[in-house]
Chains A and B, each alone.
Chain A
Amino acid sequence: MDLIVIMKRTFDTEDRISIKNGLIDEEEAEFIINPYDEYAIEEAILLREKHGGEVKVVTVGDEEAEKELRTALAMGADKAVLIDTEDVDVELDHFSIAEILTSYLKTQDFDMILGGNLAIDDGSGQVAPRVARKLDINLVTTITKIEVEGDKVTIERDVEGDVETVETTLPVLVTCQQGLNEPRYPSLPGIMKAKKKPLETIDYDDLDLEEEDIQAKSKSVELYLPPERTAGRVLKGDMEEQAKELVELLKTKSKVL
């Protein structure tokens, strides 16, 4: 089975966030594989272990993303591809990234494409469903279980807490939700092997695309931090008094009961 994972390198949002010159300050930030994409990489490896084939991880970005691609290779992916957009002069958004990925994926053979449910930095979850549509292949989002038998794919997906079982056929694009699997950590031999695995860089120029084809349709005009929450009141007295006071405060002061 030919499996392609579309991956994003993200800012670790467990880090502290600050804004510098109107942009998120990335200087001291830790970058990671988007956690939802780790589920996608893990599931692709599990499917390969079961059905054979190859796992290729693709990302759009600059050469800094090579580190995360190597991590994916160390986890067990076979090949990695970086679509380098460093020299692109126009702004990019979800539309743009989906256009870039689609034009690459159209030239590839695959049975399944896996991605994360969303990226934890931007949180939109747009790119994968857009790609499925552009490729005109089946789409199943927020999956928590997947089984493949020949061409038939049976999937469990999370629909706001309920579990929906769907049936579809290959080729399919799935987005991975938490609960699907437990992503492995790269092992030491895995890390050694990853150094020798192929990591290909494709310039976006090599994809049949003009800058005007990928120009963003949306634009970020301002970034700001929310007011910091400060500690409120720690109630005093015996437990019964505290419980009574809490209910009273919620009713009369905060007016949320």
Chain B
Amino acid sequence: MTETIARAETLDTELDGTRLATALAQTWKTERGLWGALTTVDHKIIGRRYIVTAFVFLVLGGVLALLMRLQLAQPEARVLGPDRFNQVFTMHGANMMFLFAVPVMEAMGVYLVPLMVGTRNIAFPRLNAFSYWIFLAGGLLLWIAFALDMGPDVGWFAYVPLSGPQYAPGKRADIWAQMITFTELAALAVAVEIVVTVFKQRAPGMSLDRIPLFVWSMLVTSFVVIMAMPAIMVASTSLILDRLVGTHFFNPAEGGDVLLWQHLFWFFGHPEVYIIFLPAVGMVSTLIATFARRPIFGYLALVMALIATGILAFGLWVHHMFVTGLPRLGESFFTASSMAIAIPAGIQIFCWIATLWDGRPVFKTPLLFVIGFIVTFVIGGLTGVMVASVPFDTQVHDTYFVVAHFHYVLIGGAVFPLLGAVYYWFPKFTGRMMSERRGKWAFWLIFIGFHLTFFPMHILGLEGMPRRIYTYQPDLPWHGLNLFVSASALILAAGFLIFFIDAIISARSGNPAGDNPWDAPTLEWATSSPPPAYNFAHIPVVGSAYPLWDQPGSLNVASGLHSDRREIVITTITIAEPQARESSPQNSIWPLLTAITTTIMLIWSIFSPWAVVWGSIPVAITLIGWFWPSGTPEDEA
């Protein structure tokens, strides 16, 4: 009986503001020091780490790009030999796709989705911690291998037979394949967390039509991750099996098939592009609404476009294989489906322009990046339509035209919005504003540098320059443009340098931001900057898609949660009616330990198939530790 009274006293309705804040801070806190850093399950700390790590990989990958441009600036240059060059371009691609682009987008989701849906932590927070450690281990594996001259040299797509047992001696290709396993594991974990967070942890009242568009985009992305990643997992595992234990998945002489690899790889590889692009679309929609000072035009159409893109993403993989000699009729089908992706993309572009037209644009740095995005991405999308055409593609496939195309899509379509998003959410992450002056410098240098670097590559491709060549002969008329491109790459690099300098300076000494510096409408701006460990003292109740615009001043809140244990509100999927109070896990060291044992098993299995047997024992032990019942009371409905 006394216990019930004591419990009742911890209810948030019984405590005044300050006492509630203290109690919640105590309950949700992360210990100080190393132990705290290793055991935390706070989605904000993990998300921040994830973002910073991914940006470190961006810098490393950028350095590789500059090295390649140095080599290609002159015909028959000897800056890098063929062996080193192949490692460098493979590392650049694999690093940018698997260690920067996908993780950074998921990381933005890890940080922002729980705040935007108004909950206190992400679903499965320990899995979230595990995901980060595994991602870090995968990144270290790749880069340490590269430092040891063991970096993969078979391209980020690792086509067999070149990556198979006969033509790729040593462990280089295995390191690529196992790095995939690490990053897939990390991405799948985050995807599951985001799906559950969005479906079950939304603030009361946030029905499906009130979900912020960034959250929608992360939700669709997560489903694409869950459906695409198994294909590459199957592919890379089969490759390791072929190489290590003598299976014949890809050996034509023994009934295997070389093209099977390409089908599996691109069944993942094409959706991968949308895994990177869709979150960027969500960011653009969010930024445009805030800086055009009006709700986004065509909310429903944009959500449908996101979902349509996510579904169509699985129907286009063959356009990466148009020159492999597949049947003509099949190729024509994939031409049509690849072109069809222009429809949802078009809907999005037109809705954004309509929003800007009717709104009252405020030209801050984030909006500049969005404008840069539209200019650039439309080019990338149109060249995408070009390569979707089979006959067109037979001339430009595997040339610099394609290099230009996908950099327009990935840098223009995803990195520009990402940089805009960093300028936009930086005050939320750190409590400080980034500099507008440096931001504008960074934007213009990156924008100009980007176009000068990548636009000429379209022409180089049509002029016959293939991709992935470490050099070219002086009798080909490519050196002028190549030199120009290499020089322009320096402008692009300078822009990024200013961006990073700005981020570092602003994080230390930027102007304090306040809760909502942009007068933005979504829930993450309803709490302090940076948010407290418990995100919201009271769970907000939402009545529209733009709660902070519709209810300026104070939000309605839900109450009745305990402050002495980590409690979150579970709501229904469609209309977000409160269903239950659920406890959210405590900090724990087990995710780190499990990640370490998993890493040992995965790396060991590059060298010996027995690692899967013996290595799984420590994994099992750490998993038992992780799931050991802790005696937390069951959920209260």
Co-complex (A, B):
no
B-to-A contact residues, CB < 8 Å: none
Which A residues form the contact surface with B (CB < 8 A)? none
